[in-house]
Amino acid sequence: MMLLGCLSNSVLNRLVTSYSNEAMAGMGIAKKIDMIAFSAAQGMTQGVLPLVACNYASGNRERMGRSIRVTLAYTLAIACAATLALFLFAGPITRCFIDNGSTVAYGRDFLRVICFTCPSTAVSFMVITVFQATKQKAQPLILSLLRKGSLDIPLMLLLNHRIGLQGIAWAAPLADWMALIVSALLFIPYFKRLRGK
């Protein structure tokens, strides 16, 4: 997964640098800012993993389900708030990192696209956490691989060819939302079975 993440970033950098240094700097800033929301979602979902695992192991399905629902609600609320804030204040936030007008414009535009990964990432991380906590191996691996490398690289190449620079930025949200659909298809029936045991 780390290897695919590095490969994904390498492809991203290669494609964006073919446009301009300012575009590359703007994308770098946008990705770093988005990483804060990404880290918050990962931290919250990983923090609840032991609670879910303990309740799963003890057979307390009601408490396990409640902890999953509450964590998902808080994580999703924070992710949606982050999306709104990053979209509305993309320019001023980007300007905190650099004062070059062209780079700020690229960073603002990229951030307004990339911020739409926040809600889908929050839900996907929660699904992966539940699968990990309940001793599932294949599902978390599949979902993690879908997010980075297997969907976003082909999308970057395709959208760059069709749309150009903005297409590269849209690859990450599209890949994340596609991974979210797969997450839901795997998780909903599994969670119903889990609560019924």
Q: What is the pTM of this model?
A: 0.87
Find the mean pLDDT for residues 112-131. Answer: 92
20-56 pLDDT, tens digit per residue, is 999 999 999 998 888 887 788 889 888 999 999 999 9
Distance CA 67, CA 124 (A): 16
At residue 99, φ and ψ (nearest 5 deg) are -110, 5
pLDDT at 170 over 90: yes
Which of helix, strand or coil describes residue 98? Answer: coil
51-109 pLDDT, tens digit per residue, is 999 999 999 989 999 999 999 999 999 999 999 999 999 999 999 999 899 999 999 99
